[in-house]
Amino acid sequence: MSMASEDAGPPSTQAAAQYAHEALRQFGLGGRARLTFLREGENVTFRIDSADERRFALRVHRKGYHDLDAIQSEHAWMSDLARAGVRVPTVVQTPGGDTVVQATLGSPEQTRFCSMLEWIEGDLLHHLQCVDPLEAMPMLGSAIAQLHLHARSWTPPSRFVRTPWDSDAFVGDEPRWGDPAEATTWERSTLDALRRARPAVRRCLQRLGTSPEVFSLIHADLTAQNVLDCGGEIAIIDFDDCGPGWLLYDIAVALQDFEVDDRLERLQDALLQGYVAVAGELPVALELLPVFRIARRFARLGWMGSRRGTEHQRLVSEPLIASTPASVERFLNWADRRA
């Protein structure tokens, strides 16, 4: 891919490294800092090892996904969470006090926003294959409750802007991450089920509403890849998708990898136990959790169809497609019982 053709989406890894080196110069960490490629998703992320043995995570942002105000708004919430004692990465500033820089390689078309966070040492829950997830769920539930309590009491700055995870984002005419029906070539029965599930999800979300008790600022991507076990303490990373949304969505995302696990109910109970220990009560409308499980699946399927070609897309596509027919049928059976 030529540099000139990279006018949307994540740049190639080689190009991203060039943007990253230019960003490091602006953050005052040029010269001997070492880049290690970590992952390509919405952004391309590198680990930075500085000459003075500090570590950072540097993101080369997907062009067209978040504008400057949105990235700075993400940083504003993270910074206030850190001040409140929630374990999240510290946002790094340039010598001039900026948290976002524009790295340019020769022309205005070859420009990317870049940002940097201090590195948190820990083990991704995604990588702890030998650990019983039941042990981690209460800690994760407590961390989610901390986020929710902070969000419901926090007054964002005047220029705060984040795209909401509302009904339109999941089942509108133009879903935020794409149409799940276009994720692959579905069997006709599955395609019909996907189309029948959409209005059922919309009706449930509209009935639930968006009062502050159920709808607030959320992380929106609390997968096991974005949660660190730091010696018995949970740290939450990657706030790139944060925005106003239903609190239950965070719960559903945290449980998404266990949807077909025989221990799902036990895992859910353990997570909610940790949540209640901090928040003092269960999330409102907990009985609607199946709606948010299928909404998350719709979002992931849409993302998969619109992000073809990335390594992360290749990793998640096969199991996601394989489990979708049964998942959608379970939701439709649940929705029929409630009708």
C-alpha to C-alpha distance for 13 and 92, rounded to whole angstroms: 22
- What's the pLDDT at 251? 96
Q: Give me the tens of pLDDT residue by residue for the chain, a chain 339 residues long.
A: 233 334 455 567 788 999 999 999 999 997 788 999 998 878 999 999 998 889 999 999 988 889 999 999 999 999 999 999 999 999 999 999 999 999 998 777 789 999 999 999 998 876 654 456 778 899 999 999 999 999 999 999 999 999 999 999 999 999 999 999 988 889 999 999 999 999 999 999 999 999 999 999 999 999 988 999 888 889 999 999 999 999 999 999 999 888 877 788 999 999 999 999 999 999 888 999 999 999 999 999 998 866 666 565 566 678 889 999 999 999 999 999 987
Beta 111-118 vs 55-60: how paired, if at all?
A: antiparallel
Beta 243-246 vs 55-60: how paired, if at all?
A: unpaired
- What's the pLDDT at 145? 97
Could you tell me the maximum CA-CA distance found in the chain, to the nearest angstrom? 64
CB within 8 Å of 281: residues ≥ 6 apart: none
C-alpha to C-alpha distance for 1 and 6, rounded to whole angstroms: 7
Residues 214, 220, 225: CA angle, nearest 5 degrees: 140
CATH 3.30.200.20 corresponds to the domain 3-118 = yes
Sequence spans of domains, the chain: 3-118, 123-338
Same fold, 3-118 and 123-338: no
CB within 8 Å of 147: residues ≥ 6 apart: 81, 86, 218, 219, 236, 250
- What's the pLDDT at 133? 73
Give whole-number Cα distances, 244 to 81, 160, 163, 188, 339, in Å: 16, 11, 7, 35, 28
Domain 123-338, CATH number (from 3.30.420.280, 3.20.19.10, 3.10.20.30, 3.90.1200.10): 3.90.1200.10
- What's the pLDDT at 307? 65
Give whole-number Cα distances, 73 to 70, 80, 194, 239, 332, in Å: 5, 11, 34, 10, 37
Give whole-number Cα distances, 308 to 113, 225, 226, 294, 302, in Å: 22, 20, 21, 21, 10
C-alpha to C-alpha distance for 11 and 195, rounded to whole angstroms: 34
Candidates 207, 298, 213, 210; CA nearest to 252 is 298
- What's the pLDDT at 284? 85
- What's the pLDDT at 304? 82
Helix pair 247-254, 264-279: axis angle to 10 deg: 140
CB within 8 Å of 109: residues ≥ 6 apart: 4, 7
Tokens standing for 284?
Answer: 């409102």
Helices (H) and strands (E) in the chain, counts: 9, 10
Could you tell me the pTM of the whole model? 0.91
C-alpha to C-alpha distance for 194 and 332, rounded to whole angstroms: 9
Candidates 291, 323, 90; CA nearest to 171 is 291
- What's the pLDDT at 131? 58
Q: Which helix (H) or strand (E) holds 275?
A: helix 264-279
Tokens standing for 140?
Answer: 């994760």
Candidates 105, 89, 118, 134; CA nearest to 22 is 105
- What's the pLDDT at 11? 67
